[in-house]
Each structure stands twice: as structure tokens, then as C-alpha cells.
Amino acid sequence: MAKNRFNTAWLHDHINDPYVKLAQREGYRARAAYKLKEIDEQDHLIRRGQIIVDLGAAPGSWSQYARNKLSSPGKAGLDGRIVALDMLPMEPIADVTFIQGDFREDAVLRQLEELLGGEKVDLVISDMAPNLSGVSVADAARIEHVCDLALEFAQAHMKPEGALLVKCFHGSGYSQIVEKFKSQFKQVAPRKPKASRDKSSETFILGRHLKRSA
């Protein structure tokens, strides 16, 4: 019964969520687009001419937002490039190159590196989240692992002056993740956009300017 009540409450909140309604109206696949939009408007992350990699991209709302920022009115194609990766399938987005697979696997990484043609990335965005079990110690380890993967990826593929934005969660292990970011980046800042639900422990960490490049 409790589970049914929870599901009903979640559905009610979701249907009445202003960001869900906005996403439907503006053609975004998920309300998550507005989290990236708020952070981008604060930190000016996305600029024309950039190479952007979207990790854990499905269903694609972050790539959609980035694509809109790299589009020039009246011009075909993008001023810049977006590569999206996810283990799950994703419906195509015009001008966005999608790789389905696990970027920890050599074959997937090689595919990405071939697409980049030796160029380094300006911005890595990651809305990846592990499946959470409700066991805080286990979940903390899973969250840290996902953030570590994004950090390693950025370290290997990003320009020294680039930026990495990852999703994280407050709680056990959060301070260790922040410390890892501080060891890799000259500037580190937490971000909690208004589009992130108040009840959620979800937050984002932004790292800018690598201390050393791979």
C-alpha cells in the first residue's frame, strides 16, 4: 500500500511539475534540460564552436539543449560538435552524434577518439546516475564510482581550459568527490539549480581548468 501511495504521489507531483509542462511545451525530452540551462546561464559553459561530450545522455534533453545553443539561426548544422554516449538506446537528435555503449570499454572509446580525430573536448557534461539501492554505504560507493569515471574521462579527453559538470548526491561520500575534483581542477563549485527538486539530494559539481592534462 505504501508503495502505491508513493507512486501516486510521485505521479501527481510529476504531472503538476512546472518544468515537466515546460519541457512538453518546448519540445525537450525531459525536465532535466532546465537543470543544465540554469547552470549554463550562470556559468556560461556552452558557446558556439565548442566540442561537447554528453555522458549518460539518454533520453537526450541535455544534448537537445546543447544543440540549441550551438545552432545559428537560419544556418544548417551546428557551430561546434556534440557527441552523446549512453549504454541505453537514444532517439536520434539532429546534428548530434550518438554512440551506444559503455565508454569504459576500449571499442567504445576508440569509436569516440576516431570521431574526435585527435581533437580535445571543451566541455564534458554528465547526468549519469547509478541505480540506487537505498543502502547508503553501497549507494555512496556507486555514486563516487560514476563521478570517478567522468573525472577520468575528462582527464584523458578534455582541453586544459575545459569544464566538467557531473551529477552527484549529497550524503555519504560527497565531500570525497568534491576533494577529488579539487585535486584535478583549479576551480570547483557546487550547483543546485531550481529545476532540481527540493526533496532531492541531487546536486551538481562543476570543475573548470584542469591542473594537469593527460
The sign of the torsion formed by the CA atoms of 68, 51, 211, 105 equals positive
Task: Say whether 62 counts as a known binding-site residue.
Answer: yes
> With contact defined as beta carbons under 8 Å apart, do 60 and 67 qualify?
no
Per the annotation, does 79 bind a ligand? no
Q: What is the C-alpha separation between 26 and 156, in angstroms, rounded?
A: 35
Active site residue 167: yes
Q: Write out the three cell numbers for 183.
A: 585535486
What cell was used for 70?
550551438
Give dist(CA 57, CA 13) in Å, integer: 24
The reply to whether 127 sits in an annotated binding site is yes
| Grid cell listed for 166 | 557531473
> Which of 167, 180, 182, 192 is an active site residue?
167
Give binding residues as ranges: 60, 62, 86, 102, 127
Give binding residues for S-adenosyl-L-methionine as ranges: 60, 62, 86, 102, 127
Catalytic residues, by residue number, are: 167
